[in-house]
Amino acid sequence: MHQYIVMRTGYLILTLFIASVFTFCVVNAIPGEPAEVLAKHLFLGLEESAPPELIAEVSARYDLNKPLIEQYSEWIRGILSGNLGNSIIYNKSVGKLLELYLPPTILLTSFAMTFAIITGIALGIASALHQNKTADHLIRFITIFSISMPSFWVAVMLILIFSLWLNLTPVAGYGEPKYIILPLIALGLHSMASIARIMRTSMLDTMEKPFIIFSKAKGLSRKKILFSHAFKNAFLPVLTVIGMSFGSLLAGSVIIETIFTWPGIGALLMKAISARDLVVIESTIMVIVFMFLIVNFVIDILYHVIDPRITYE
Amino acid sequence: MNTVLEVMDLNVTFPTRAGAIRASQQVSFRMQKGEISVLIGETGSGKSVIGLAVLHLLPEAAIISGKINYNGREILSMSEKEFSRFRGRDISLVPQNPSGSLDPLMRCGKQISESLEIRGISNLKQSTEVENILSNLQFSDPKLTAASFPHELSGGMRQRVTTGIALASEPKLLVSDEPTKGLDYSSRKTSMKMFLHLKHIRKDTHLLITHDLDLARMIGDTIHVLYSGEIIESGPVDEIFSDPHHPYTEGLIAALPRNGMKAMPGMCPGLIDLPSGCYFYSRCPYQCEQGKTIHPAIIPVNGRRSVRCHRFSR
């Protein structure tokens, strides 16, 4: 087990390295000269055209004319020494920016994930237990709908219904608890639906297993069969889906935070991309990748805790 | 005498697209208290279906008719709710496929305790009771077995654990469905030894469903031979083995390794298109004239035995 954790940590570092190379390349491959976009953002406004002297000056000041490999190694060296770099447009260190923007994102994603897991599991089990009855059809309709609709559309619809028509929640913002309701639903709905669907399938599959029939023959109550035997066995595939949907949840947070003006790293990333604040883009993506890897690392350990057959030798 | 189980004219049919599968036809037998009755037959002879019918565990699609009396009460027509009080209290099952029948995520001891809990045995006494049960089942280290997960045990050990689960509920009727199926030679021997030991110490009323003639002979009192869903011969074990009446039973005994492994010619008929005459006609060494067209009835022979063969009707 300890050996496994060491090995996994090695893989984690390797994945982070590959992700950093990839991120760096993609960020620099975005069409439009970074220096030009930056110059407009900093001094002119996006509709103006930047004079060549200004572009050259911006380029020189922020080391944008250095070879890419040098820019990359400088960035990585900074990260290794604990310095994530400096934002050009915010005039702050990226570390300072994350200190401000990361907590709201962690708050939102953990609430959205909790919502997705609890409702997903509950709906999945309810659906399986009422297989092919009205409740099942209704739940399957809801989940198919939630999976198919893009989250930005869901977000806008939620605002329209709950904020504008029913006047129950604020449109957007951050601060009091009521502000989190709509963003967490908009963000978690897709994951909730994937979890519910896999929970249903897995539960139905498990209920047919010989050990469930034997549990019945043993005279166990239905409640006991469901919760002591069926649920635990049916949960393993759900755990995999939870890990994967955490990825799409983080990706979704970029759009959802922008729509609801939620001051998280998703919104930060969005702004940084439009201003070509390169270091902020790169470092923020690395933080997101890191969060995803850590969650999946924890899930791999959980597998072992739940299923004794899985050993990490 | 004390009749524990009485099965009368049990018919089980599974409707399929290809036609109705008649898994069990007009099966009747009775069991006295403390008796070990063996249902013997090859795969597809309908023996497991009878055991599952006794426990109300047949799939919902099955069409069932007939009567099953348990201690004088008709249980076949009971609702699921009514019958669920019998499972694991009065009647318990040693399942086929012990590996799949144990919950892979729960320690074996805990799975046995679940049966004890139903009997209302307190948590404190459960672990000693589990160890008692396991040591009766030929386990050398009951503590270790109780703490093991099913995947840590061999197939034979899992078989004995499932038997332990069934016995933990102290059933008045034990139904075991092919307990030695798929076991290797030495595990099978240990399981047989265990069943013999249990017979001596517990005197359970036991409906043993098997294709293992050696096991049947070793522990059985009465035997019912099944062929194509029907009982074709019944009687005390030693009499059937020493003097089989039905040509199929003769064939089975002759096919045992120690009797020279003489295989019977042919195959048993499919359960969808059964012949109108005797089901065994095409393989029968005697091939009597009536057998071609007339289906034989079960005929009592010498009081304790009966056989479904025209040669015994006079």
Q: How far apart are CA B150 and CA B117, in angstroms?
A: 20
Question: Looking at the domain assignment, is residue B99 inside a domain?
Answer: no
Q: What is the mean pLDDT of residues B148-167?
A: 91
Residues 6+ apart with CB under 8 A from B189: none
Question: Which DSSP symbol is given to B261?
Answer: -
Tokens of residue B185, six digits: 């030679």
Beta strand B91-94 with B73-74: parallel, antiparallel or unpaired?
Answer: unpaired
Cβ(A84)–Cβ(A279) below 8 Å: yes
Tokens of residue B163, six digits: 């038997």
B64 forms bridges with which residues in the sheet?
B12
pLDDT at B249: 92
Question: Looking at the domain assignment, is residue B95 inside a domain?
Answer: no
Cβ contact B103–A229 (<8 Å): yes
Q: What is the mean pLDDT of residues B225-233?
A: 91
B16 forms bridges with which residues in the sheet?
B19
B120 and B258 in a common domain: no
Beta strand B206-210 with B36-40: parallel, antiparallel or unpaired?
Answer: parallel
Q: What is the pLDDT of residues B105-156, one digit of tens each?
A: 999 999 999 999 888 888 888 889 899 889 888 888 999 999 999 999 988 8
pLDDT at B224: 94
Domain that holds residue B209: 3-90+171-312
Q: How far apart are CA B199 and CA B205, in angstroms?
A: 9
Decide if pLDDT at B223 tops 90.
yes
Residue B261 pLDDT class (50, 70, 90 cuts): confident
Question: Looking at the domain assignment, is residue B182 inside a domain?
Answer: yes
Contacts A232 to B, Cβ<8 Å: 105
Please tell me if residue A223 touches chain B, with a CB cutoff of 8 Å: no
Residue B265 pLDDT class (50, 70, 90 cuts): confident
A9 to chain B, minimum CA–CA distance in Å? 27
Q: Is the dihedral of CA A280, A282, A285, A290 positive or negative?
A: negative
B222 forms bridges with which residues in the sheet?
B37, B236
Question: Looking at the domain assignment, is residue B12 inside a domain?
Answer: yes
Q: How far apart are CA B23 and CA B48, in angstroms?
A: 9
The residue type of B26 is: Q
Question: CB pairs below 8 Å between A and B: how many?
Answer: 71
Q: How far apart are CA B69 and CA B83, in angstroms?
A: 12
Mutate which of B82, B101, B115, B159 to test chain A, going by most A C-beta atoms within 10 A? B101
Cβ(A214)–Cβ(A66) below 8 Å: no
B178 and B142 in a common domain: no
Angle at A268 between CA A171 and CA A254, to 5 degrees: 65
Q: How far apart are CA B14 and CA B59, in angstroms?
A: 9
Mutate which of A205, A208, A218 to test chain B, going by most B C-beta atoms within 10 A? A218
Residues 93-112 of B with CB under 8 A from A: 93, 95, 97, 100-106
Q: How far apart are CA A102 and CA A109, in angstroms?
A: 11
Mutate which of B58, B105, B149, B177 to test chain A, going by most A C-beta atoms within 10 A? B105
List the beta strands (DSSP E) in B109-246: 173-177, 206-210, 222-227, 230-236
A192 to chain B, minimum CA–CA distance in Å? 26
Smallest Cβ–Cβ distance between A307 and the set B93, B105, B162 belongs to B105
Contacts B92 to A, Cβ<8 Å: 217-219
Cα A312 to Cα A12, A219, A302, A304, B81: the distances in Å are 16, 36, 12, 8, 44
Question: Looking at the domain assignment, is residue B96 inside a domain?
Answer: no
Residues 54-83 of A with CB under 8 A from B: none
What does chain A come to in residues? 313
Smallest Cβ–Cβ distance between B101 and the set A214, A224, A307 belongs to A214
B221 and B290 in a common domain: yes
In A, minimum Cα distance to B166 occurs at A218
- Taking residue B303's Cβ as centre, other Cβ atoms within 10 Å add up to 7
Please tell me if residue A206 touches chain B, with a CB cutoff of 8 Å: no
Tokens of residue A59, six digits: 């380029």
In A, minimum Cα distance to B162 occurs at A214
B110 and B45 in a common domain: no
The CATH number that applies at residue B240 is: 3.40.50.300
Contacts B106 to A, Cβ<8 Å: 228-229
Q: How far apart are CA B70 and CA B77, in angstroms?
A: 12
pLDDT at A274: 84
Instruction: Count up the domains in chain B and report the number.
Output: 2
- ipTM of this complex prediction, to 2 decimal places: 0.86
Smallest Cβ–Cβ distance between A219 and the set B97, B103, B118 belongs to B118
Taking each helix axis from N to C end, the angle separating A68-80 and A278-306, rounded to the nearest 10 degrees, works out to 50
B253 and B175 in a common domain: yes
Contacts B101 to A, Cβ<8 Å: 210-211, 213-214
Residues 6+ apart with CB under 8 A from B286: B247, B311
DSSP string, A195-211: HHHHHHHHHHHHHTSHH
Per-residue tens of pLDDT for chain A, all 313 residues: 788 888 888 999 999 999 999 999 988 888 777 777 888 877 777 777 777 888 888 887 777 778 888 888 888 888 888 888 888 888 888 889 999 999 999 999 999 999 999 999 999 999 999 999 999 999 999 999 999 988 889 888 988 888 888 977 887 778 778 788 888 999 999 999 999 999 999 999 999 999 999 999 998 988 999 998 999 999 999 999 999 888 888 888 889 998 988 898 988 998 888 888 888 898 899 999 999 999 888 898 888 888 888 876 6
Q: How far apart are CA B12 and CA B25, in angstroms?
A: 7
Residue A152: name the closest of A183, A177, A106 by CA: A183
Please tell me if residue A229 touches chain B, with a CB cutoff of 8 Å: yes
Q: How far apart are CA B102 and CA B153, in angstroms?
A: 11
B149 and B281 in a common domain: no
Query: Tokens 């201690």 belong to which residue?
Result: B71
In A, minimum Cα distance to B167 occurs at A218
Decide if pLDDT at B1 tops 70.
no
pLDDT at A313: 61
B175 and B144 in a common domain: no
B177 forms bridges with which residues in the sheet?
B209
B217 and B74 in a common domain: yes
B212 and B304 in a common domain: yes
Question: Looking at the domain assignment, is residue B291 inside a domain?
Answer: yes
Tokens of residue B282, six digits: 């095409």
Smallest Cβ–Cβ distance between B100 and the set A211, A217, A219 belongs to A211
Smallest Cβ–Cβ distance between A308 and the set B88, B89, B105 belongs to B105
B207 forms bridges with which residues in the sheet?
B37, B175
- If 0-12 CB within 10 Å is exposed, 13-18 middle and 19+ buried, where does residue A46 land? exposed
Listed as own residue / partner, the contacts of A130-133 with beta carbons closer than 8 Å and 24 or more positions apart are A131/A204
Domain boundary (B170, B186, B202) is at B170
Please tell me if residue B207 touches chain A, with a CB cutoff of 8 Å: no
Cβ(B162)–Cβ(B223) below 8 Å: no
Q: What is the pLDDT of residues B14-45, one digit of tens each?
A: 998 888 888 888 999 999 999 999 999 888 78
B159 and B194 in a common domain: no
Q: How far apart are CA B168 and CA A252, in angstroms?
A: 53
In B, minimum Cα distance to A229 occurs at B103
Domains and CATH numbers, chain A: 1-93 (no CATH), 96-306 (1.10.3720.10)
Residues 6+ apart with CB under 8 A from A97: A87, A90, A268, A280
A209 to chain B, minimum CA–CA distance in Å? 7
Q: How far apart are CA A122 and CA A46, in angstroms?
A: 49
B220 and B133 in a common domain: no
Cβ contact A211–B115 (<8 Å): no
Domain boundary (B149, B170, B191) is at B170
A93 to chain B, minimum CA–CA distance in Å? 49
Residue B8: name the closest of B61, B67, B58 by CA: B67
Cβ(A268)–Cβ(A97) below 8 Å: yes
Mutate which of A202, A209, A212, A214 to test chain B, going by most B C-beta atoms within 10 A? A214
Cβ contact B88–A217 (<8 Å): yes
Mutate which of B103, B162, B167 to test chain A, going by most A C-beta atoms within 10 A? B103
**Diameter over CA atoms, chain A:** 85
B46 and B7 in a common domain: yes
The residue type of B189 is: K
- Taking residue A118's Cβ as centre, other Cβ atoms within 10 Å add up to 13
Domain boundary (B137, B170, B203) is at B170
Smallest Cβ–Cβ distance between A233 and the set B103, B114, B165 belongs to B103
A207 to chain B, minimum CA–CA distance in Å? 12
Residues 6+ apart with CB under 8 A from B94: B162, B163, B166, B174, B175, B176, B177, B179
Cβ(A127)–Cβ(A140) below 8 Å: yes
Question: Looking at the domain assignment, is residue B259 inside a domain?
Answer: yes
Cβ contact A219–B106 (<8 Å): no
pLDDT at B314: 62
Contacts A308 to B, Cβ<8 Å: 104-105, 149, 151
Question: Looking at the domain assignment, is residue B98 inside a domain?
Answer: no
